[in-house]
Structure 1
Amino acid sequence: MTATDVLFIDDDAAIRQAIQQTLQLEELTTETFDNAASALKILRPDFQGVVLCDFHMPGINGLDLLKAVQQIDESIPVIILTGQGDIGTAVTAMQLGAYDFIEKPFNQDELIELLKHALEKRHLALENRVLKAQLRIFARPGPRLLGGESPKMKRVLSMLENLVDTSADILLSGETGAGKDAIARYIHETSERSQHNFVAINCGAVPENLIESELFGHEAGAFTGAEKKRIGKFEHANKGTIFLDELESMPLALQVRLLRVLEERKVERLGSNVSIGLDVRIIAATKSDLKSKSERGEFREDLYYRLNVIQIDIPPLRERREDIHLLFHHFALIAAARYGRESIPLNKQQIGLLLQHDWPGNVRELRNRAERYVLMGPVALDEIQSAASVDTPTPQSLSDMVDAFERSMIQNALQMCQGSIKDTMEYLGLARKTLYDKMKKHGLDKAQFKEDADHDGL
């Protein structure tokens, strides 16, 4: 559904039609009403447009409408059309929070410019609202799942939609930095278990002589140094989710006990003979090929097949280049809000550098680069440029690279121009038909950018 840019209220049908036609020529989608009460029924706090209304209307007048809109969301801009005798009242409306007023008869160019400025302010207010919400989430330990536009990430997201509300154990496979931790947290936080603990443990970071106690807990006196009882990670995650990262690093002897926990959903603390029932979802993650490791005897085959009921393969960033620029933009916005800095949009050359880079550190590397860009400016991209001059070419065909670059450029332009075809044509220097043909080729719809939603992927 196309977002409405201007919600126009006037009891004069001729004026409604004239203004609607004028705004449509400027690609401003407009919805008209002959009374304020009908318009108020559809207004919501997430309304992305501007309210334009006549001051004199039957029933609810412009001043009363302003007050009602502010009750819904005070950041929705309200512009009032006034006659010469209404100037004093219009000034009062400004003092009460109206965005502006325009006097009849008005200049069309002046009205359009005012509406576009108001729209820009509204979009900025909504973007800041989203950023604040994201910052609250990102303040918690670990990254969070972001949207993805590439076919591979869309498949991952589609799988997750079908799995989050089940209790099925999941095996995540992907390179370092690809986002396994983020997906694990997303699964937990969007499931019915979100009110309980999410417990993460890196199996490769805990000394082998301590990992069994970490996972299963121990009773006082179970071994030298065990002075008091300790609750293990599994028990602490009861009714929630436990995330076992770098599972390939788990000692073979401990894999036997993990298999038993998976099958019986019970755990015994070290030094105890009492079984404790568990209601826990297990998400395991690996950067290795567990099947190959099990064939070489480096990982228990029975544990691999027990975990491999549902496996999600997370693609590396170099295989979903369509997501690179949107992800960078998202991380830069987050960093700008966190550090109180301005995030300067990338130019075409800088976007090209991002697309050429192989990103061996995947999303983690991209996020760090975006933060450095916010803090240091364009110099933060110099290392990428230097590497691009000496790195071997990526194993992609020239056609694929050109398509990925073209799609990213058009997507970036549509985002910057908030879905305006006219502005996007001017920014890219393309004819209207050419732009539409390329948008169709790459599956891009201007409506998704007019909605101003922040959809990023890992």
Structure 2
Amino acid sequence: MNIQGRVLLVDDEAMVREATGQWLELSGFNVDAFSSAESVLPHIDSQCDAVLLTDVRMPGMDGLALMQEALKRAPDLPVILLTAHGDVDMATEAMRGGAYDFIEKPYVPDRLVERVQRACEKRRLTLENLRLQQNLNTRSDIDARLIGISPAIQRLRGEILALAELDTNVIIYGETGTGKELVAQCLHEYSRRNKRHFVPINCGAIPENLIESELFGHEAGAFTHAAKRRIGKFEYASGGTLFLDEIESMPLNLQVKVLRALQEHQIERLGANAPIPVDLRVIAAAKVDLRDDPGFREDLFYRLSMSELHIPPLRERLEDVPLLFAHYVHRGALDHNREPRELSDHDIQALQAYAWPGNVRELKNIAIRYAIDSRISLVDLLSRQQPQMFKPVMNSTTLPLAVQVADYESRLIRDALERHKGNIKAVMEELDLPRRTLNQKMLRYGLNRGDFTDE
């Protein structure tokens, strides 16, 4: 039987409640029955995937008061009132106050089913529209955080949003400087765990004799200099996300303990005997494929690699380099009270001609240096950085068309924002762009209205 929807049924009369609930369940609905208004309220919020079917006359909080409180918590929640014959005028008035429908007792069962079915469909569509709007907002946000127009970065953004909805462990692969921690933060922030801690730890930056205490914590006196109890990263991240960067550097003996903690969902502090339950998602990051690493346990790899993400290096998405560089130049200029420097065609050619071995981290460093020192050219900066990685291209026609178009478009929007001091309406009129299209393009190119206002 197809489930037609979920119903929160409230009636203080046990026989009526049982009979109505059974009929609705036989008609394909999931029914949660309650004997009072007070008992159903904890089950109602803005995400409630049900309709409320309630008797009007009940001791304590009656059906009308319940409807008013339910609509405060979930303004779009369909509320159907069960009314006695003498309450019809009152129920009609209640519909003006937000009730979806009312049914007069004694009711015809088929009519009850029909009206509940319509209400469930309305609720389903409302929640679906809400979910779609949230997805659009999330996509706009992630476009601003992971800047780029290349197919590789677009694919990565989609993979992040898809994985964020799951609660599986993830391994992120990427070269140094590609932004593995930023990707891990996105996975956390767009997940159901985003209200709790995101806890990063670099396994390669902590001395081997301290990393166990960092991860699992310790009791006072557990070892020399352990003067007081310390909460470890596993325990602190419980309910949220633990990010293990450079996990290929984790000592073999510690890998065994991490595996056990993940399998049993509990840890023990050093010097303690009582286990502590933990509930967390683990995101690991590595520069090398852990399958090929003889120093990494196979069983821990399979525990972590429920899902994988691969971050492309900059040399594989060169069309994103001018956008990223312009973004960091603008931020660097603002942070250091400098006039933003515009990129010439020759500058863009230079950016495309550099191999970016340090990826986004290197690009950000060079962009800030370029922003704060107007005496030095971009070509000089890149040629001094790593000369063997720099092969200047002098013919602008060798640049990909997408790069040239994106650069021209971002300059037009930036110039309009500067002329109009961030006035979005004026920019829309000048460029003949709808608000939504302009917003999307500003996010794509890392342009923030606040950077152009006088406020």
TM over 0.5: yes
**Structure 1 partner of 2:39:** none
**Structure 1 partner of 2:238:** 238
SS at match of 2:443: coil
Aligned counterpart in structure 2 of residue 383 of structure 1, from 378, 381, 384: 381
Structure 1 position 168 matched with structure 2 position 165: no
The alpha-carbon deviation at position 190 of structure 1 amounts to: 2.4
Change (3 A) 1:291 1:403: farther
SS at match of 1:258: helix
Change (3 A) 1:192 1:344: same
> Does structure 2 conserve the Cα–Cα contact (< 8 Å) formed by 1:353 and 1:388?
no
**Structure 2 partner of 1:317:** 314
Which region of structure 1 is more displaced relative to structure 2, 372-381 or 310-319?
A: 372-381
Letter in 2 for 1:359: W
The alpha-carbon deviation at position 280 of structure 1 amounts to: 1.1
Query: Aligned partners of 1:364, 1:149: CA distance in 2, in Å?
Result: 19
**Structure 2 partner of 1:190:** 190
Query: Aligned partners of 1:317, 1:223: CA distance in 2, in Å?
Result: 45
Change (3 A) 1:415 1:449: farther
SS at match of 2:339: coil
Query: Aligned partners of 1:302, 1:189: CA distance in 2, in Å?
Result: 28
Query: Aligned partners of 1:224, 1:450: CA distance in 2, in Å?
Result: 57
**Structure 2 partner of 1:326:** 323
Aligned counterpart in structure 2 of residue 417 of structure 1, from 412, 428, 435: 412
**Structure 2 partner of 1:261:** 261
Letter in 2 for 1:171: I
Query: Aligned partners of 1:279, 1:269: CA distance in 2, in Å?
Result: 16
* Equivalent residues, number: 284
> Does structure 2 conserve the Cα–Cα contact (< 8 Å) formed by 1:419 and 1:449?
no
The alpha-carbon deviation at position 406 of structure 1 amounts to: 3.1
Query: Aligned partners of 2:283, 2:340: CA distance in 1, in Å?
Result: 36
The alpha-carbon deviation at position 402 of structure 1 amounts to: 6.3
Query: Aligned partners of 2:367, 2:270: CA distance in 1, in Å?
Result: 45
Query: Aligned partners of 1:456, 1:233: CA distance in 2, in Å?
Result: 36
**Structure 1 partner of 2:333:** 336
Letter in 2 for 1:352: Q
Q: CA RMSD in A?
A: 3.0
Query: Aligned partners of 1:315, 1:234: CA distance in 2, in Å?
Result: 29
Query: Aligned partners of 2:298, 2:439: CA distance in 1, in Å?
Result: 51
Query: Aligned partners of 2:387, 2:203: CA distance in 1, in Å?
Result: 38
**Structure 1 partner of 2:61:** none
Offset from partner CA, 1:299-347 (integer Å, 9 cap, x none): 1111112212201010101001111011111112222222222212100
Gapped runs of 5+ residues in structure 1? 1-136, 138-143, 421-444
**Structure 2 partner of 1:281:** 281
Query: Aligned partners of 1:165, 1:355: CA distance in 2, in Å?
Result: 36
Query: Aligned partners of 2:255, 2:147: CA distance in 1, in Å?
Result: 34
SS at match of 1:244: strand
**Structure 2 partner of 1:406:** 401
The alpha-carbon deviation at position 392 of structure 1 amounts to: 7.4
The alpha-carbon deviation at position 363 of structure 1 amounts to: 0.3
Change (3 A) 1:388 1:232: closer
Gapped runs of 5+ residues in structure 2? 1-140, 416-433, 447-455
Letter in 2 for 1:358: A
Query: Aligned partners of 1:209, 1:310: CA distance in 2, in Å?
Result: 30
SS at match of 2:271: coil
**Structure 2 partner of 1:221:** 221
**Structure 2 partner of 1:105:** none
Offset from partner CA, 1:351-375 (integer Å, 9 cap, x none): 1000110001100011111111110
> Does structure 1 conserve the Cα–Cα contact (< 8 Å) formed by 2:203 and 2:245?
yes
**Structure 2 partner of 1:298:** 295
Change (3 A) 1:212 1:380: same
* Greater relative contact order (Cα < 8 A, sep 6+): 1
> Does structure 2 conserve the Cα–Cα contact (< 8 Å) formed by 1:321 and 1:404?
no
Query: Aligned partners of 2:384, 2:345: CA distance in 1, in Å?
Result: 17
Query: Aligned partners of 2:370, 2:390: CA distance in 1, in Å?
Result: 25
> Does structure 1 conserve the Cα–Cα contact (< 8 Å) formed by 2:196 and 2:240?
yes
Aligned counterpart in structure 2 of residue 307 of structure 1, from 278, 284, 304: 304
The alpha-carbon deviation at position 288 of structure 1 amounts to: 1.4
Letter in 1 for 2:381: E
**Structure 2 partner of 1:364:** 361
Letter in 2 for 1:218: H
> Does structure 2 conserve the Cα–Cα contact (< 8 Å) formed by 1:419 and 1:450?
no
Question: TM-score, structure 1 length as denominator?
Answer: 0.57
**Structure 2 partner of 1:208:** 208
Offset from partner CA, 1:261-314 (integer Å, 9 cap, x none): 122211111111211111111110011121111xxx311111112212201010
SS at match of 2:226: coil
Say which one has the larger Rg.
Answer: 2
Question: TM-score, structure 2 length as denominator?
Answer: 0.58
Query: Aligned partners of 1:450, 1:157: CA distance in 2, in Å?
Result: 18
Offset from partner CA, 1:78-117 (integer Å, 9 cap, x none): xxxxxxxxxxxxxxxxxxxxxxxxxxxxxxxxxxxxxxxx
Offset from partner CA, 1:205-244 (integer Å, 9 cap, x none): 1000000000000111212221211100111111111111
> Does structure 2 conserve the Cα–Cα contact (< 8 Å) formed by 1:146 and 1:456?
no
SS at match of 2:244: strand
Change (3 A) 1:363 1:392: closer
- Superposed, 1:125-144 pairs within 5 Å as none
> Does structure 2 conserve the Cα–Cα contact (< 8 Å) formed by 1:414 and 1:449?
no
> Does structure 2 conserve the Cα–Cα contact (< 8 Å) formed by 1:164 and 1:188?
yes
- Superposed, 1:57-68 pairs within 5 Å as none
> Does structure 2 conserve the Cα–Cα contact (< 8 Å) formed by 1:145 and 1:183?
no
Aligned counterpart in structure 2 of residue 453 of structure 1, from 442, 445, 454: 442
Query: Aligned partners of 1:391, 1:148: CA distance in 2, in Å?
Result: 22
SS at match of 1:311: strand
SS at match of 2:145: coil
- Superposed, 1:8-157 pairs within 5 Å as 145-157=145-157
Aligned counterpart in structure 1 of residue 352 of structure 2, from 344, 355, 366: 355
